Amino acid sequence: MSEGKEIVKLKGSKVLLKGFIPEVGEVAPDFTFVQADMNEKSLYDFEGLNKILISLPSIDTGICALETKKFNEAIANIDNVVCLAVSKDLPFALKRFCGSEGIENLKAVSDFRYSDFANEYNLEMVNSPLKMLLARAVFVLDKENRIHYVELVEDITYEPDYDKALAALAKLK
């Protein structure tokens, strides 16, 4: 494994990421994504809202689906927040999943077109059977896009710590 890069695991096996992920206290990098309707938007389009960014390998896996559902439920009654579930899945798959699962409170968005999120946040896996997909991570940002919480999930087959992410969000105004 190369030094100077983040490492996670896939069922216990080491997986190298593209580089180091942004840290608490930094301003989150902007990135462009594709929505379910194929239109593009960027993180900074949500200025004035607190944000949760969840990075997923694929919405079509059990843990990613569960994580998306849990965050969707968790933010249902929280004002002034947007939750973006980012994966490299095609917008068609995201639209199908959200429609069939009743996901209405978060936005499942795709990084397939530019890999902007993967590049800016260094979450792309560079080896393993899931090479080129995103590792599992959670970021909580304030209205000015300053990062207040980061979790790079140790093994991508594990769920994130929802309570810690939501506690960090609750501290924001």
Q: How far apart are CA 143 and CA 70, in angstroms?
A: 22
Q: Catalytic residue, from 64, 83, 109, 138: name it.
A: 64
Q: How far apart are CA 98 and CA 25, in angstroms?
A: 32
Clarify whether 64 is annotated catalytic: yes
Q: Is 50 left (phi over 0), alpha (psi -120 to 50) or beta?
A: beta
For helices 91-101 and 62-74, angle between their N-to-C axes, nearest 10 degrees = 60
Q: Which residues are catalytic?
A: 64
